[in-house]
Amino acid sequence: MKLIVCGKGGCGKSTISALLAMKFSSLGYRVLLIDADESNFGLHRMVGIPTPVHIMDSLGGKKGFKEKINKPFPDTDRPFSRKLKIDELPEDCLQESGGIKLAVIGKVHGFGEGCACPMGLLSRMVLASLIIEKNDMVIIDTEAGTEHFGRQVDAECDLIIGVIDPTYESILLAEKMEGMAKSAGKDIVYVLNKTGEQIIDDMTKQMDPQKVWAAIPQNEAIFTKNLKGDMLELTVPEIDRFCHKIQETGGLL
């Protein structure tokens, strides 16, 4: 199964992605965690894995990637033009620890290097190329906002997970993402993050409650580990229940 995790900046996408990866790994899945956020640099430390070579960099950076996909060669010569199992991804672009493999699409490295559109295209190509076997779980941590919908990255997933924090902007984004998910023919469910009991009620009233599959309360241990840059080695019961619900339903509403 391929799960895409999305939401506004600061909502906790990377934290939820890391916690999902670690829980599904503990359940016996072979987990591939894909960092598709070109701006944030901390996902690898949340799961305690060294940063691998970025896939975009392995292709020669944006310039090299553009040259490769624009060459008048048969499709078989283009990057990720053939179907690949997880273990067939470029070896130097994977790092593994604790049953989780980590891949990074690419990052914005410097001033004036241009837009991140090639990384969106590469994300879609990588996801489209992956052969998902019975016990595979692919979790994609996207960039903030809705650009991944515009790039059609979500077309390659099985379930969209929207992370919603207690802000009006996040509630508005949830409505927007739901419309885009419907246009893409994909199911979307929500994780309410950084909540309290009253906040959960207030947020749920503004959303489709059937699509709210989890609510994560404010967690001082998570906050402290993220502040220190530590691995998120902790149990979050709400994440456990959320993963079991994905298992039981096959991600289908």
CA distance 49 to 90: 17
What is the domain extent for residue 131?
Answer: 2-249
The pLDDT value given to residue 126: 94
Q: What is the CATH number of the domain that holds 94?
A: 3.40.50.300
User: What is the pTM (predicted TM-score) of this model?
Assistant: 0.93
DSSP assignment letter at 143: P
Number of domain units in the chain: 1
Tell me if residue 182 falls in helix, strand or coil: helix
Closest CA to 33 of 127, 120, 118: 127
pLDDT above 80: residue 253: no
The pLDDT value given to residue 111: 83
3-state secondary structure 154-178: HHHCCEEEEEECCCHHHHHHHHHHH
Tens-digit pLDDT profile for residues 1-56? 999 999 999 999 999 999 999 999 999 999 999 999 988 889 999 999 999 999 99
How far, in Å, are 15, 76, 100, 225 from residue 129 at the CA level? 26, 12, 19, 34
pLDDT above 90: residue 179: yes
Closest CA to 160 of 67, 169, 146, 172: 146
Tens-digit pLDDT profile for residues 190-227? 999 999 888 998 999 899 999 999 999 999 999 999 99
Tell me if residue 62 falls in helix, strand or coil: helix
The pLDDT value given to residue 32: 98
Computed over every residue of the chain, the mean pLDDT equals 91
